[in-house]
């Protein structure tokens, strides 16, 4: 069972639609005690880093998420969700990130239009068990800040400079693009990531178990 963290900052409807198309079970949780007892946690997010961090602190997630990951849960971050997993962001210099992924989030530009809005190609930099070779596949991005590409970055994309499009560490995996908005390739990535975290499609697997 996938738990979608619902803290008022993210397009949950599209994410749920994508999970339905993949045949994966999911629920929304506003607080940690509403999370499914096991399974993948998904941290979506759109908007301002500081506002999101504040909402997550207020709901108790900020404190709980690192412990849930340490206790064996997988965590996927999407868009601002990935940025919140990093060490910190230029968007909120006085606040820190969750620190589950190494690196800092910095503003895009100068010299390019910001926000970076639209479809960009991603390239593989470091193999990850969940991720296929993207072979120049296109993903949909909407963001003004980005995690600096580093040695642990799995996919990179370019907008003025290279930045981390997908980065993982241990049971944590962050996507800067919106896989749920990125057509067939995005859906494939989401499926691969969730299979890797141990989620499986409903019908066929149950039939197989019987």
Partner 1 sequence: MPAKRVIPCLDVKDGRVVKGVNFKQLRDIGHPVELARRYDLEGADELVFLDISATLEARKTRLDWVREAARQLGIPFTVGGGVRDLEDIRNLLRAGADKVAINSAAVANPPFLEEAAGIFGRQCIVLAADVARDPALGWRVFTHAGKLRTELGALPWLERAVDLGAGEILLTSIDRDGTQDGFDTELLMAAARLPVPVIASGGAGTEAHFQEALECGADAVLAATLFHEGRLPIPRLKSFLAEHGVLVRL
**Looking at beta carbons only, is 116 or 125 nearer to partner 1?**
116
Residue of 26, 73, 74, 116 that binds partner 1 (CB under 8 A): 116
**How many residues contact partner 1, by CB under 8 A?**
36
- Structure-block tokens of residue 56: 């997550």
Q: Check if the beta carbon of residue 141 is closer than 8 Å to that of residue 182.
A: no
Helix 183-196 × helix 12-22 angle, to 10°: 80
Residue range at the interface with partner 1 (CB under 8 A); choices 40-48, 67-75, 99-107, 166-174 = 40-48
Nearer to partner 1, 65 or 157 (CB): 157
- One symbol per residue from 49 to 78: x for binding partner 1 (CB under 8 A), - otherwise; what is it? ------------------------------
Strands (E), the chain: 2-5, 26-29, 41-43, 75-78, 88-89, 104-107, 116-121, 123-124, 138-143, 145-147, 153-159, 161-169, 172-175
Active-site residue, from 26, 64, 74, 79: 79
16 belongs to the binding site for partner 1 (CB under 8 A): yes
DSSP-derived secondary structure letter, 148: B
Q: For residue 20, how far is the Cα from the chain centroid? A: 18
Exposed (0-12), middle (13-18) or buried (19+): which is 101, by Cβ within 10 Å? Answer: buried
Nearer to partner 1 by C-beta: 64 or 191?
191
Q: Does 48 bind partner 1 (CB under 8 A)?
A: yes
Using CA atoms, how far apart are residues 60 and 56, in angstroms rounded to an integer?
6
Are the C-beta atoms of 157 and 121 separated by less than 8 Å?
yes
162 binding partner 1? (CB under 8 A): no
Residue 202 in contact with partner 1, rule: CB under 8 A: no
CA-CA-CA-CA dihedral for 183, 184, 185, 189, to nearest 10: 100
Mark the segment that binds partner 1 (CB under 8 A) among 18-26, 54-62, 64-72, 199-207: 18-26
| 209 tagged catalytic | no
Q: Indicate which residue of 128, 143, 178, 191 is catalytic.
A: 178
Catalytic residues: 79, 178, 180
Contacts with partner 1, residue ranges (CB under 8 A): 11, 13-14, 16-18, 20-21, 46-48, 112-120, 138, 140-144, 158-159, 178, 180-184, 186-187
């Amino acid at each position: 069972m996938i738990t979608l963290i619902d803290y008022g900052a993210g397009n949950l409807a599209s994410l749920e639609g994508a999970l339905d198309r993949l045949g994966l079970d999911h629920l929304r949780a506003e607080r940690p005690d509403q999370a499914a007892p096991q399974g993948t946690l998904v941290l979506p997010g759109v908007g301002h880093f500081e506002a999101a961090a504040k909402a997550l602190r207020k709901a108790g997630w900020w404190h709980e998420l690192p412990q849930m990951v340490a206790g064996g849960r997988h965590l996927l971050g999407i868009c601002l969700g990935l940025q919140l997993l990093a060490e910190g962001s230029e968007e909120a210099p006085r606040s820190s990130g969750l620190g589950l992924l190494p690196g800092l989030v910095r503003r895009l530009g100068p010299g390019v239009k910001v926000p970076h809005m639209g479809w960009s190609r991603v390239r593989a930099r470091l193999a990850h068990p969940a991720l296929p070779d993207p072979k120049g596949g296109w993903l949909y991005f909407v963001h003004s800040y980005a995690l600096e590409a580093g040695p642990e970055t799995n996919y990179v994309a370019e907008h003025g400079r290279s930045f981390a499009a997908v980065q993982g560490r241990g049971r944590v995996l962050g996507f800067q693009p919106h896989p749920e908005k990125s057509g067939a390739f995005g859906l494939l990535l989401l499926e691969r990531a969730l299979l890797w975290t141990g989620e499986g499609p409903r019908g066929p697997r149950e039939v197989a178990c019987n």
